[in-house]
Amino acid sequence: MKLKKLLTILSVFIFMAFLLLPSGTQAEVREESESKVRKAGEKFKLNSDHYQRLVKNYSSFNALSKEKQGLVKNYSSFNALSKEKQALLKRLESEIMKLDSHENTRMLEVFQKFASWYETLKPLEKHRIENAEFPDARLVEIKKILTEQWIARLPKSESETLLKLDDKERRIQIIKIKQEEQARLNIVFDKKKKLAWTSEESRRFVAQIQAQFSSEQQEKFAKLENKKGSLLKMILEFAEENPPLPLNKSGAKYLSMKDLPMDMLVQLKKMKQAGAYKQFELARVEGKWPSYARVVTEILRKNDPSFTFDFGASNLNDFSLEAKNVIENALFPLLQDEEKEKLQTVAGRWPDYPMAIRELAKVHLIEVPGLSVPAELLQMKPGKLPMMMR
């Protein structure tokens, strides 16, 4: 039935076109047109599956929204272009996708940092943000809370002086303090000079990170020595996943099988035979601290999630006296009740406890010697403000 309708419509269009032609050519055109119609009809009859598919596709296209119909038409137009123009459009699309990907990654990092910071707020501070009427008002509240936190981290005499001032005078004084801090940093580190670690803490941190590098990473590190920004980026990115962790009280480093207790060796052997891990997993980190001990812990926890061993500092008393003083006197007073509870749940577990201390120190902008990224390196990172000024 549909075939008859289609042929009828086609005949009407041909007849209308025929009427518009000069009379001398009508007979020829009529014969040629009738021949085409017959051939088209025969083609459709011989290939009814193709015809049904065309009808179905046409119906599906009409069912699409205007936006999607536009996409289909654009795709058809794209296929009609030359191969050179198609290749150019694909390259442009690829570059745009890269930009979007970078932007998405940056935004995700911002959201993650905000979420971590938001969780540290007191209930009243969260209430202030949640109940702000407009997005702009929320930003104002967030900036106010950040300023309050910044003031709280200042020496007591300076913070008390600022709190006594009215809002306008306080803002002026804060700007002045930050400018003075920036001036001091500019004296300590000239960004035009070749990258160099001026503090012993920074040199020790970089050495600990570099000791965990693979041979390929060591080679890349050597090539980047004269490229300040790239070298520093490599160090900080690696340190994010593989931070140096303090040793235990005995000061022992667990770097290979011969350093492990016998019962641990027996358990690892059984797990290897059972296919729970491959030899290369340990071989690639052998001789590296704390990477080797962390991989051993991960493997053994596959069999026993409660497994723990004091490969390194797993309690407050295991840290150096300098680090312990900072944690007790600078970090702990800033912790919220929820943070204290989370820290308590991992006390005695390695590497969970030192990693938790490290994350809390990052959130509250406290530098723990031997665990945190030294402030000097953070200040040198391109695009980052000094710790005190953030």
**Packing angle of the helix pair 167-188, 156-164 (nearest 10 deg):** 150
Residue 338 covered by a domain: no
pTM > 0.85: no
Domain with 30, as residue range(s), is 2-78
Ramachandran quadrant class, 287 (left: phi over 0; alpha: psi -120 to 50; beta: rest): left
Closest CA to 292 of 235, 245, 234, 355: 245
Residue 265 covered by a domain: no
Q: Count structural domains, the chain.
A: 1
- Spacing of C-alpha 355 from chain mean position: 19
Residue 355 covered by a domain: no
Residues in the chain: 390
Residue 11 covered by a domain: yes
Residue 375 covered by a domain: no
CA–CA dist 300, 315 (Å, integer):
21
Amino acid (1-letter code) at residue 261: P
**Predicted confidence pLDDT, tens digits, the chain (390 residues):** 544 554 454 454 444 444 444 544 445 545 665 566 566 666 555 556 666 666 666 666 666 666 555 655 555 665 666 676 666 666 656 655 555 556 666 666 777 777 778 888 888 888 888 888 776 788 888 888 888 888 887 777 778 888 888 888 888 888 888 777 766 656 544 544 445 556 777 888 888 888 888 888 888 888 877 776 777 888 888 888 888 899 888 888 899 999 999 999 999 999 999 999 988 889 989 998 899 999 999 999 998 999 999 999 999 999 989 899 999 988 998 888 888 999 999 999 999 999 999 999 888 888 898 888 887 777 665 544 443 333
Residue 17 covered by a domain: yes
Residue 385 covered by a domain: no
Residue 173 covered by a domain: no
